[in-house]
Structures are given as C-alpha cells and as structure tokens.
C-alpha cells in the first residue's frame, strides 16, 4: 500500500496545539515490554503505522515492565506520572487504550477531551476471576457477570503476592460503567462484540477489527514434509488453556504420537508431573518460550496445532498463524475460534473439556494426513489475505476516522488506505 496522505479539518478543537496535518496516537498500556499478546499487538501495529507516517506516543505504568526493544518503535515513551498533564503536554488526535490497572487513568482520558478508544484483549472486565470458566468443574462460562459469579467462587482471587483476595461485583460494575463512556470499543471477534453487548456496551460504538499474523507470509514455504505423528501446542501453561485435557488425550492415542509444548506459565510443573503420571513423559517435550523463527519451523513441520482451551478465546491468533503456514488446527469450539476455523475444512472443532472428543479428532486427523493437508493448503491463501496487517491497519484507521468525525474535534482522512478497499464491522 502507498503511504497515506492525511488531511485534517477542524469543526472545533479541544486540542489546539495538535498538528492537524498528521495523525498522532497516544497508546496507553501497563507494560512497555513483550509481556503477552497485547504487547506484541501494540508493537507490531505501531511499527507498521510509523512506516505510514503516523506518530505514536506510549504512556506506560510505573510498575510495568519496560525494554528498549519494545519502546524503540514509538516516537516517544514515558512512564505515567501525572496523566492529566502528560495528555495536555503531548497533544494527540486519539488515545488508544489497552491493558491498564487503574480506573482513574481511564477517567482522566475520558475527561481530557481527546477521543479515547480501547481494545479489549481479554475477559478481565467481564469476569470476576478474569478467565471465563468456572472454579468448580472448570466449565467454559458464557454468562453475564452477576450473582451467579459468586456460586462458582469467582469472587475468590489472588493478588501479586499470591494472597487470597475478595473480588466484588460492585467494583467490576463500576469499571464497566466507566469503560462505557469511551468514544469507541475495539474487539477482535464477533464473540467479543457479543460479550460487550451482553454487558450493555453500546453496539454502535463497538468495532470488530480482527487481528493479524505478524509472520512474513511472503517467505512461507507451504509444502515442507510434515512429521505425521507430531502435534504442537503454543501458549500459556495455565489452567484455562486446557493443556491438562490435551495431555490426557495424547495418552489415549497411538504411542507414536508426540507433542511439542511451546510456552511458560504457572501450571508448567503440574503439567510435567501429569505427563509423567500418564506414562507419556517421553512423548511430550516442554520447549519453553519459543521465538518467532522456531515457531515458524514447527508450524511447517508438525501434523497439527492443538488449541484445547476451556477459556473462551477472544480471538486466538496462534491458530491464524498456524493456518498461514498451512498447518491444520484442532481446537475447542469456544469464544472467537469458530469464526476462523471451519470444522472439516481447515481443521477440527471439538467441545471443551472433552478428552474423548479431542483424542478422536486427533486420531481422525492423523489417519488422513493427505486430505487434511490439502484442505489446509486451500485455506492458507484466504487466511493470509483476510488476516493481514494491511487489512487490520486499514480498518483501524477507518475506525479512528469514524470516532474523530463523531467527536467533532478532528476529521482525519486516509485517502489511500480507506477508499473502497476495506470496511470496519460494527
């Protein structure tokens, strides 16, 4: 895509010092380092926007992680000390909020007069225990936050010091009410748009902008020989990800089947002990954190990526990355996963927490490798085109433009990026 040309017009400006000939985004996030998927999204998006002449400033929490490898893509980056003054001293067209701990920072952004939007990466605002599965039974939850949250012991939590805390619906409700005052809400899936609607977020302010694969798809080799009995898991080693279910499924399939586990998390030691108890320790390799190059190699070698989540995934970018390498996917039918994974076409969908269904899907896929691979190859190009960074940027800038016009403070027109080649879902 060509570099965007921006023309800015005033109706009335609440940011008189803003350079009206360029788009300037203030990003607010707890961390300024690659802590999780949200930070990876921020880094890759800012890098791409910078190449198109869009200015980005990062404000991060004092207690957040920071590393120059993350902050170097921004024009400037500062810890949050006095947010009200910082927003006044760094005039911008729009504030783009992500993971933040302090609701007062949200209020400050809303009161600043700068249109503020937020990307909802997870369920922290919509579940007392943050993960959307029940404490008792470990069942995927689809309920709205309410009194039923107490019956599943969702009110019991732990703080950073691992001490027990009591989470209250009143506090969560107050945070939801504050978020509803924002100028716009961004989600990665129709599933998350339904979650917001379920919690009384205004539908007209909700924008569905799917995530993108950050792999350089131009250099993907689609037909490398695959290991016919090797499976892959990529993600956090936490209970909500259902890796315990996957290990039990592996124990019930052919002994030739091996599993690579890429990731770290609080359940790692417990999962290692479980693999030993199940007698599959030699068939499971815990690889720890794997870099992008290593993951690309695995995606092109294994028979399938398995996503056994019991937590409803808000999007699950890992699956898109696998499919962009023509790697079939077996996943639970939770959250936003069914929006990009078609059962029997580019992989298999199974119910969460169902060991028999998961092991059956694994057996079926491994017993028909050529058919499965052909389906994945057919789906590969569509996935690459539909979930590209160019498509995401186009929709994101259109959304910014929509919010800015509605706020009557600025109207930014990115002519080369928004005319007829993409649209934002509402």
Task: For residue range 233-257, list pLDDT tens digits in order.
Answer: 999 999 999 999 999 999 999 999 9
pLDDT score, position 222: 53
**Residue 207: its H or E element:** strand 206-208
Instruction: Let me know: does 65 contact 33? Beta carbons within 8 Å.
Output: yes
User: Are 155 and 171 in the same domain?
Assistant: yes
Residue 56 is classified by DSSP as E
User: Are 99 and 204 in the same domain?
Assistant: yes
Task: For residue range 70-123, list pLDDT tens digits in order.
Answer: 999 999 999 999 999 999 998 899 999 999 989 999 999 999 999 999 999 999
Residue 129 lies in a domain: yes
CA of 360: how far to CAs of 252, 276, 311, 351, 367, in Å? 9, 22, 21, 12, 11
User: Are 163 and 187 in the same domain?
Assistant: yes
Residue 134 predicted with pLDDT over 60: yes
Instruction: Let me know: does 228 contact 362? Beta carbons within 8 Å.
Output: no
User: Are 236 and 202 in the same domain?
Assistant: no
pLDDT score, position 147: 86
User: Are 318 and 305 in the same domain?
Assistant: yes
- The CA-CA-CA angle for residues 365, 371, 377, to 5°, reads 105
Give phi and psi for 325, each to the nearest 5.
Answer: -100, 15
- In whole angstroms, what separates CA 291 from the centre of its chain? 18
pLDDT score, position 16: 36
Residue 174 predicted with pLDDT over 80: yes
pLDDT score, position 418: 43
Residue 14 lies in a domain: no
Nearest to 262 by CA among 348, 342, 322, 337: 322
Give dist(CA 281, CA 279) in Å, integer. 6
CA dihedral (126, 131, 134, 139) positive or negative? positive
pLDDT score, position 161: 64
> Taking the model in full, what pTM does it have?
0.88
Question: Which residues, in sequence order, are bridge partners of residue 347?
Answer: 329, 343
The tokens describing 105, both together, are 């920072």
pLDDT score, position 152: 78
pLDDT score, position 417: 42
pLDDT score, position 425: 62
CA of 238: how far to CAs of 6, 17, 241, 342, 414, in Å? 44, 46, 6, 26, 41
Residue 16 lies in a domain: no
pLDDT band, residue 416 (cuts 50/70/90) = very low
CA of 340: how far to CAs of 64, 185, 232, 312, in Å? 33, 21, 19, 14
User: Are 35 and 140 in the same domain?
Assistant: yes
Give phi and psi for 319, each to the nearest 5.
Answer: -65, -40
User: Are 236 and 112 in the same domain?
Assistant: no
Give dist(CA 369, CA 23) in Å, integer. 49
Residue 411 lies in a domain: no
CATH code assigned at 364? 3.40.50.2000
pLDDT band, residue 223 (cuts 50/70/90) = low
User: Are 109 and 170 in the same domain?
Assistant: yes
Residue 371 predicted with pLDDT over 90: no
Q: Distance between terminal CA atoms of the chain?
A: 24
Percentage of residues of the chain with pLDDT beyond 90 = 69
User: Are 351 and 263 in the same domain?
Assistant: yes
Residue 7 lies in a domain: no
pLDDT band, residue 3 (cuts 50/70/90) = very low
Spell 137-161 as b/e; 16+ CB within 10 A means b. ebebbeeebeeebeebebbeeeeee
pLDDT band, residue 264 (cuts 50/70/90) = very high
User: Are 200 and 235 in the same domain?
Assistant: no
Least confident of 216-225, 264-273, 336-345, 348-357: 216-225
CA dihedral (321, 326, 331, 334) positive or negative? positive
Mean pLDDT value across residues 40-64: 96
Instruction: Let me know: does 313 contact 334? Beta carbons within 8 Å.
Output: yes
Residue 78 lies in a domain: yes
User: Are 50 and 80 in the same domain?
Assistant: yes
Instruction: Return mean pLDDT, the chain.
Output: 87
pLDDT score, position 237: 97
CA of 196: how far to CAs of 127, 145, 193, 288, 310, in Å? 12, 11, 5, 34, 20
Residue 6 predicted with pLDDT over 60: no
Residue 224 lies in a domain: no
Task: For residue range 137-164, list pLDDT tens digits in order.
Answer: 889 998 999 888 887 776 666 666 667 7
Number of domains comprising the chain? 2
Residue 349 predicted with pLDDT over 90: yes
Residue 223 lies in a domain: no
Residue 133 is classified by DSSP as B
- 335: domain range? 230-386
The tokens describing 237, both together, are 């080693």
CATH code assigned at 119? 3.40.50.11380
Task: For residue range 283-313, list pLDDT tens digits in order.
Answer: 999 999 999 899 999 999 999 999 999 999 9
DSSP assignment string, 354-397: -HHHHHHHHHHHHH-HHHHHHHHHHHHHHHHHHT-HHHHHHHHH
CA of 77: how far to CAs of 25, 81, 92, 141, in Å? 12, 12, 14, 38
User: Are 169 and 269 in the same domain?
Assistant: no
Give dist(CA 89, CA 43) in Å, integer. 23
């Amino acid at each position: 895509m060509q570099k965007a040309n921006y023309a800015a017009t005033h109706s009335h400006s609440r940011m008189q010092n803003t350079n009206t000939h360029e788009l300037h985004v203030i990003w607010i996030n707890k961390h300024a380092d690659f802590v999780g998927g949200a930070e990876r999204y921020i880094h890759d998006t800012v890098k791409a926007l910078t190449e198109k002449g869009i200015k980005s400033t990062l404000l991060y929490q004092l207690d957040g992680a920071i590393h120059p490898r993350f902050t170097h893509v921004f024009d400037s980056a500062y810890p949050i000390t006095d947010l009200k003054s910082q927003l006044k001293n760094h005039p911008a067209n729009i504030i783009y909020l992500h993971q933040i701990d302090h609701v007062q920072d949200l209020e400050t952004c809303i009161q600043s007069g700068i249109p503020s939007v937020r990307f909802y990466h997870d369920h922290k605002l919509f579940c007392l225990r943050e993960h959307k599965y029940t404490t008792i039974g470990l069942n995927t939850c689809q309920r709205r936050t309410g009194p039923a949250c107490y019956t599943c012991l969702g009110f019991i939590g732990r703080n950073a010091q691992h001490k027990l805390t009591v989470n209250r619906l009143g506090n969560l409700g107050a945070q939801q009410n504050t978020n509803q005052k924002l100028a716009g809400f961004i989600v990665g899936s129709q599933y998350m748009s339904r979650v917001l609607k379920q919690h009384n977020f205004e539908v007209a302010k909700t924008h569905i902008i799917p995530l993108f694969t950050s792999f350089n798809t131009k250099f993907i080799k689609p037909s490398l020989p695959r290991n016919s009995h090797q499976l892959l898991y990529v993600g956090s080693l936490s209970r909500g990800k259902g890796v315990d279910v996957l290990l039990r499924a592996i124990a019930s399939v052919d002994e030739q089947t091996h599993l690579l586990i890429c990731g770290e998390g609080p359940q790692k030691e417990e999962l290692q002990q479980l693999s030993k108890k199940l007698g599959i320790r030699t068939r499971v390799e815990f690889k720890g954190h794997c870099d992008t190059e290593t993951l690309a190699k695995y995606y092109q070698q294994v028979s399938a990526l398995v996503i056994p989540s019991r937590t409803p995934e808000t999007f699950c970018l890992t699956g898109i990355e696998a499919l962009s390498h023509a790697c079939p996917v077996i996943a639970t039918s939770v959250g936003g996963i069914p929006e990009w994974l078609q059962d029997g076409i580019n992989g298999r969908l199974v119910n969460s927490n169902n060991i028999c269904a998961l092991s059956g899907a694994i057996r079926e896929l491994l017993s028909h490798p050529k058919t499965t691979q052909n389906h994945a190859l057919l789906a590969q190009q569509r996935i690459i085109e539909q979930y590209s960074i160019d498509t995401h940027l186009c929709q994101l800038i259109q959304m910014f433009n929509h919010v800015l016009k509605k706020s009557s403070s600025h109207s930014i027109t990115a002519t080369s990026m928004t005319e007829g080649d993409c649209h934002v879902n509402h």
